[in-house]
Structure 1
Amino acid sequence: MSTFDEAQARELIKAGTGIVSGTAFLRQNGGGVVTCAGSKVTILPATKYSSERLSVIYGDFLSTGKTSFASAFSLKHQPQQFDPDPPGYYAATKSTTCDAQGNFLLEDIQDGDYFVVTNVTWTVRSIQGGTLATKVTIKNSRSPKLIMTIN
């Protein structure tokens, strides 16, 4: 795995004028919909390190506009450990919280390529659902509205 370049990541996450908005949800087997309501939504620069790291968790999902999924079960029972786990990786991010309807808005983002990650979970005997991630490009301070779900 590549070495994390904290200076590069901090430069890429500096304030800009871009906006990323969207919604995240999963459909249960019975047809019910669970949103990311109350969950943290994180955006991080798409650096070589973050691309490789997220590929370990989600597989080769690195295409813009495709949502990838890691189940809560697999994250709990087969957790990915990164050694070293650079603290600067987490510091070079921005985050917000999904509203009650599962909508989110990330502001003050520079033009560039990023990953957006959030959780959609619920409990029925055990935790279900998981984590959703997608790649987004901000150009001219805008990105398409994200709809984060899996089919």
Structure 2
Amino acid sequence: MTAAIFVALVMLAQASGRRPIIVEPAEEPVTAGPVRGGVKTFDPSEYLKYAAGGGNSIRGDAFLRTRGGDVRTCAGESVQLVPLTYYTLDWLDHVYGSAASAYVPIASVVERAKTYPLHAGASAFIRTARCNVRGEFEFSGLADGGYAVITRVRWEVLGLSAARGGGEQGGELMNTVFVSRGEAARVTLTQ
């Protein structure tokens, strides 16, 4: 289990009001759940608590700064809310290099997602929203638990070759958020 996954699991336990159990590291890597091909296998029972929804909400925004100092937002982009389970924590770690927060350049996102596609069963639990013109989004009716918030901030640089910084710029941003007991959490995704 990577350190990022361990930290996320401790935070998830704390957010749910449970006391985390800390075990000394074993000599062999410890995994939670079955593993196939280096990625934990999808277990639908991990998602049951997210199915019913609840009284929590997550509001946020996403932006990046260009080399010239201009601010670009996620305006018009889709925002995904991914429930945190053993499977999705492992998937986030493979795709983003972290299960807590990350920025991945546009060019790398597509390749990583092809290498580690998300299981269709997990995809069924993902909620989506759209960033407004100010780069803001909101999710409501959420069950207690942890979520990964994922969106893209991208723009075109015209008149230059890709080697000189032209073409599509920006990337995908991810951050985890924990909510419980009717909480209204706020998150900003940036690099």
**Class of the TM-score when normalised by the shorter of the 2 chains:** 0.7 to 0.9
Q: Does 1:129 align with 2:165?
A: no
Larger RCO, structure (CA 8 Å, separation 6 or more): 1
The answer to whether the Cα contact below 8 Å between 1:13 and 1:45 also exists between their aligned partners in 2 is no
Structure 1 partner of 2:26: none
Structure 2 partner of 1:3: 41
The answer to whether the Cα contact below 8 Å between 1:13 and 1:44 also exists between their aligned partners in 2 is no
The structure-2 alpha-carbon separation of the partners of 1:11 and 1:78, relative to structure 1 and needing over 3 Å to count, comes to closer
Greater strand content = 1
The structure-2 alpha-carbon separation of the partners of 1:13 and 1:29, relative to structure 1 and needing over 3 Å to count, comes to farther
Alpha-carbon distance between aligned partners in 2 of 1:55 and 1:102, rounded to the nearest angstrom: 25
Please report how far the alpha carbon of residue 61 of structure 1 lies from its aligned counterpart in structure 2 after TM superposition.
4.2
Report SS of the residue matched to 2:150: strand
The structure-2 alpha-carbon separation of the partners of 1:14 and 1:128, relative to structure 1 and needing over 3 Å to count, comes to farther
The structure-2 alpha-carbon separation of the partners of 1:99 and 1:47, relative to structure 1 and needing over 3 Å to count, comes to same
Report SS of the residue matched to 2:40: coil
Q: Does 1:75 align with 2:109?
A: yes
Q: Give the counterpart letter for 2:64 in structure 1.
A: L
The structure-2 alpha-carbon separation of the partners of 1:95 and 1:111, relative to structure 1 and needing over 3 Å to count, comes to same
Scaled by the length of structure 2, the TM-score of the pair is 0.70
**How much is the aligned-residue C-alpha RMSD, in angstroms?**
1.8
Structure 1 partner of 2:52: 14
Moved more, 123-132 or 69-78: 69-78
Scaled by the length of structure 1, the TM-score of the pair is 0.87
Please report how far the alpha carbon of residue 76 of structure 1 lies from its aligned counterpart in structure 2 after TM superposition.
4.0
Runs of 4+ in 1 over 6 A off after TM superposition: none
Alpha-carbon distance between aligned partners in 2 of 1:2 and 1:102, rounded to the nearest angstrom: 33
Flag structure 1 segments of 5+ consecutive residues without an equivalent.
none
The answer to whether the Cα contact below 8 Å between 2:131 and 2:137 also exists between their aligned partners in 1 is yes
Alpha-carbon distance between aligned partners in 2 of 1:45 and 1:78, rounded to the nearest angstrom: 20
The structure-2 alpha-carbon separation of the partners of 1:123 and 1:38, relative to structure 1 and needing over 3 Å to count, comes to same
Which of 85, 89, 98 aligns to 2:131? It is 98
Identity of aligned residues (%): 30
Greater helix content = 2
Please report how far the alpha carbon of residue 4 of structure 1 lies from its aligned counterpart in structure 2 after TM superposition.
0.8
Flag structure 2 segments of 5+ consecutive residues without an equivalent.
1-38, 158-165
Moved more, 119-128 or 101-110: 119-128
Structure 1 partner of 2:90: 52
